[in-house]
Amino acid sequence: MLKGHLDMIVLAALTNGPAHGYAIIQEIQRRSAGAFELPEGTVYPVLHRLEKNGLLSSRWTIAESGRKRRTYTLTRQGRQAFANHRAVWQRFVDAISGLFGEASGATVRPHR
Amino acid sequence: MRQSGPIADYLDALARELGFDIALSRRVCAEIEDHLLQATDGCLSIESQRQVVANFGDPRDIARQYMTAALLAHIRWVGLAMIGASAAIFLAMEARVVWYEVMQWKWNAEWEAVRAIGLAIDRCGFIVAVSIALIGWVYISTRRAPIRFHVTYSKELKRCIVLCGAAATGLIVSVTIETVLAGIRLFEMKWSSAALVPILSLVIEMAAAALLVLRIRAMMRRTAAVFSILGPAG
């Protein structure tokens, strides 16, 4: 189920500012309170694809360790895409909440 | 230099899987090496490296997820090369025509019929090529890379290559005829250093067309390599 929403999850993790892949994964785990335990490697192709689609930009930086590190930033198009994703998701959540709210008042009949 | 161990082995395997795009492979391996070393938190024991690598995922699966965006990036370069080649050929043609007028080089009347037919085919070929190049550029730049390969995306990529190929064919026809016509004109004239200008303009046209063909060929090879990795299911 997560795979269909990976783009939105990665975009969301970058809304606080630029970050590198490892930090993005940590941020996803922190914000989801550990609910989204993604295989770490799946995030990198998503970052690459979002960059190619113009939603992210990236550049090499040098980490404290002296290693090269790729840092990603949301572009304006990326912020817009995230806002659209969030609006669609909110409508979905509202609709499901309404549906479940009605359902919780109904009596559940066992199958015979 | 990379030390041997599970992380180095993993990166080697990933580089092999990404062999369809060497530049991408280098970039991805550098980025992932940093991630894996960061994940070990400074503990480079074999066990710690194994754990980190296991958490990262199968290199083959990861490489496959890069394919869609990688091919799109390359086809965009081909699209750009197509527009660049069309512009370069047009400018070289115009420069040659201006030069002929400045030098007042006239056609020999006995070649007039050849010139008329040649120019008609040349113009037609060039206009068709530029039209296809513009359509192709719009088509390519409006494509988006999906998460995974699917039949529609494969068809889109093939369509992009066909459009680039058609534009290149039109340009080659145009350049060939331009070369023949310029050759006849230069053959009829007395040799002088002024002839270097049309010759140079022809070299520019040929180089632009050749670069485009090479880019398309590289793209076709890359696409074929990816399709062969993915198999018939794509």
* CA–CA distance, B120 with B173 (Å, rounded to integer): 12
* Nearest CB neighbour to A41, from listed B33, B34, B62: B62
Q: Which two tokens stand for residue B61?
A: 């699966």
DSSP label of A111: P
| CA-to-CA separations, B173 to B98, B122, B162, in angstroms, rounded | 22, 7, 16
Which percentage of chain B shows pLDDT scores above 70?
97
Burial class (CB in 10 A: 0-12, 13-18, 19+), B189: middle
Q: Name every residue whose Cβ is closer than 8 Å to that of residue B34 and which is 6 or more positions away in sequence.
A: A20, A22, A63, A67, A68, A69, A70
Q: Measured between alpha carbons, how far is residue B234 from residues A3, A43, B49, B69, B143 in Å? A: 19, 22, 33, 15, 18
Q: What predicted TM-score, i.e. pTM, was given to this entire model?
A: 0.71
- Measuring CA to CA, which residue among B173, B166, B188 is closest to residue B118? B173
Q: How far, in whole angstroms, is CA B26 from its chain's centroid?
A: 20
- Sort out which chain B residues have CB atoms less than 8 A from A6's CB and list them: 147
pLDDT, residue B93, reads 93
Question: What is the pLDDT confidence band of residue A109, given thresholds at 50, 70 and 90?
Answer: low
Across the range B127-141, mean pLDDT stands at 94
Chain B residues inside the 8 Å CB shell of A70: 27, 30-31, 34
CA distances, A22 to each of A63, B101, B125 (Å): 12, 64, 52
Q: What is the pLDDT of residues B176-225, one digit of tens each?
A: 999 999 988 888 777 788 889 999 999 999 999 999 999 999 999 888 88
N- to C-terminal Cα separation, chain B: 37
Which chain A positions have a beta carbon within 8 Å of B44's beta carbon? none
Q: Are B155 and B193 in contact (CB under 8 A)?
A: no
Alpha-carbon distance of B104 to B93, in angstroms, equals: 16
Per-residue pLDDT tens over the stretch B17-73: 898 888 999 999 999 999 999 998 877 788 899 999 999 999 988 988 888 888 888
Cβ B31–A70 below 8 Å, yes or no?
Answer: yes
Choice among B20-34, B67-81, B145-159 with the minimum mean pLDDT: B145-159
ipTM: 0.80
Burial environment of residue A59 by CB neighbours within 10 A (0 to 12, 13 to 18, 19 or more): exposed
Per the model's pLDDT, the better-predicted residue between B85 and B145 turns out to be B85
Candidate from B96-105, B146-155, B157-166, B225-234 with smallest mean pLDDT: B225-234
**pLDDT tens-place string over residues A48-104:** 999 988 999 999 999 888 888 999 999 999 999 999 999 999 999 999 998 888 766
pLDDT at res. B200: 94
